[in-house]
């Protein structure tokens, strides 16, 4: 089985950068149709038009991000699951206030012809350390 970790890490970063740049077309090129997302807002299934609406009219926008501790596993030649931590800065659309978040994310990518496409993304708040300095940034 071929290890495409570096290629998929680059695609994941490209997707994140497309959100910062409000480059919805690039994001859509990287998404399977339909795709799923699970977050603190619940679970949703969306097509490309649904993603475009979220990206261009959603209440929050990504201003910056830093991905770390990226890992990949390949259950088959045509599927990969990425897991990583993200430090993201968000702002309400049209406002200057900023919200800082530390999250733990996963993305599931599948081979679609010659291209990899993201079919599933999850995010959850990163656990905070209790007592001691484990997990502090």
The series of mean pLDDT values per 10 residues for the chain, 137 residues long, is: 86 98 98 96 96 96 98 96 98 96 98 96 89 44
* Average pLDDT value for the chain: 93
> What is the set of domains in the chain, with CATH numbers?
5-125 (3.10.450.50)
Question: Would you state the pLDDT for residue 128?
Answer: 82
Let me know: does 14 contact 23? Beta carbons within 8 Å: no
Please state the pTM of the whole predicted model: 0.90
Let me know: does 113 contact 26? Beta carbons within 8 Å: no
Question: Would you state the pLDDT for residue 33?
Answer: 97
Question: Would you state the pLDDT for residue 130?
Answer: 65
Question: Would you state the pLDDT for residue 133?
Answer: 46
Residue 15 φ then ψ, to 5°:
-65, -50
């Amino acid at each position: 089985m071929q290890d495409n970790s570096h290629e998929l890490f680059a695609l994941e970063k490209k997707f994140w950068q497309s959100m910062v740049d409000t480059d919805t077309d690039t994001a859509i090129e990287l998404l399977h149709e339909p795709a799923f997302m699970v977050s603190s807002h619940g679970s949703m299934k969306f097509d490309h038009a649904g993603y475009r609406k979220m990206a261009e009219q959603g209440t929050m926008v990504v201003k910056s991000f830093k991905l770390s501790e990226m890992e990949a596993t390949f259950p088959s030649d045509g599927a990969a699951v990425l897991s990583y931590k993200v430090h993201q800065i968000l702002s309400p659309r049209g406002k200057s206030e900023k919200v800082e978040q530390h999250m733990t994310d996963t993305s599931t990518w599948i081979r679609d012809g010659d291209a990899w496409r993201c079919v599933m993304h999850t995010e959850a708040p990163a656990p905070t350390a209790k007592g001691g300095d484990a997990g502090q940034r």
